[in-house]
Copies of this chain bind each other. A is one copy, B any other.
């Protein structure tokens, strides 16, 4: 029962074809669809029948062209495709679907600090604009991302996910400072004093903010921060490397910049005979769905990427449809306590298992 167009040409039927069959003009068909103006019940019926008979579908492209409004949002993501981006897409596509928008994705595997990436990103943005998207959501946490917004008219709706307010772009972000603060406080409340921070890649606002949260929590408790390993990526291998390099005698707890890093760190320490939470406590950030099943189940800060996508979409839609800007929003994170954290124990107890 596949529907075949009934037009002479065999091509997709147009409003004119529908009009011909229903014995009205194409414009009347247009009004039938858009709801503007008058169409008598009788005519309406004839049009409905003609539409069904021809299998006519409105041509969104022509409509967008004429109306100068595509109902499409461009989304530009950068860096390794990971859990955060996945969950963000999920929120974004759901919000778009609910309001009859479309999402077109541009993804670049490298982040802005890699050579050539800035130029590639710029081209991506131009490509999006040349598609006539109604707005762009720019998902990079790289600190110098504002350079990218150059070349985009300040009237054009842009939302970044950097958390950094910019003259030409609104921004939403998950509250990384709060995540770092609450995660570290949690460790402090458990009695830990020598707390190590394993950071994410440098020059990302998330990395800086999480570290700042850690530093603030340490300082409000009068504890000295520990020297930190250098950050390279958001992946497990960053945590793994850090876990191999570190001296286990120097800390009793770890705040990892995200869950993957926490996982890698745990894995490295396990290979050296140290287990959490027996020998040290560790908390991550993100709450990826799998971490509840890790060994041990990971205590972490839940970051609601889904909500991030929803809010980012709503912000840009607000800008597009109402013409107003909502400068900055920050979404809170919440501590999920599982089994990777435990009260600090006297020093004497801590030793590698054989």
CA distance A132 to B57 in the complex (A): 10
* Complex interface residues of chain A between 73 and 131 (CB less than 8 A to chain B): 81-83, 85-87, 89-90, 93-94, 97, 102-109, 124, 126-127, 129-131
Q: How far is the CB of A313 from chain B (nearest CB, A)?
A: 13
The distance from the CB of A71 to the nearest CB of chain B, in whole angstroms, is: 9
The verdict on A153 contacting chain B, using a C-beta distance below 8 Å, is: yes
The residues in A between 247 and 300 inclusive whose CB is less than 8 angstroms from any CB of B are 260, 263-264, 266-267, 270, 289-290, 292-295, 297
Contact pick for A106, options B1, B87, B97, CB 8 Å: B97
* A58 on the B face (CB < 8 A): yes
Answer yes or no: A59 CB below 8 A from chain B CBs.
yes
Complex: A290 Cα to B153 Cα, angstroms: 41
The complex places the Cα of A154 from the Cα of B86 at a distance, in Å, of: 32
B residues less than 8 Å from A320 (CB atoms): none
Cβ of A64 within 8 Å of any chain B Cβ, yes or no, is yes
A348 located at the interface, meaning its Cβ lies under 8 Å from any Cβ of chain B in the complex: no
Check B4–A153 contact: CB distance below 8 A: yes
- By the criterion CB–CB under 8 Å, are A292 and B236 in contact? yes
Question: Is B4 a contact of A60 with CB atoms below 8 Å?
Answer: no
Shortest 9 CB-CB distances between A and B: which pairs? A267-B293, A295-B295, A93-B107, A86-B86, A81-B90, A61-B132, A60-B130, A236-B293, A104-B104
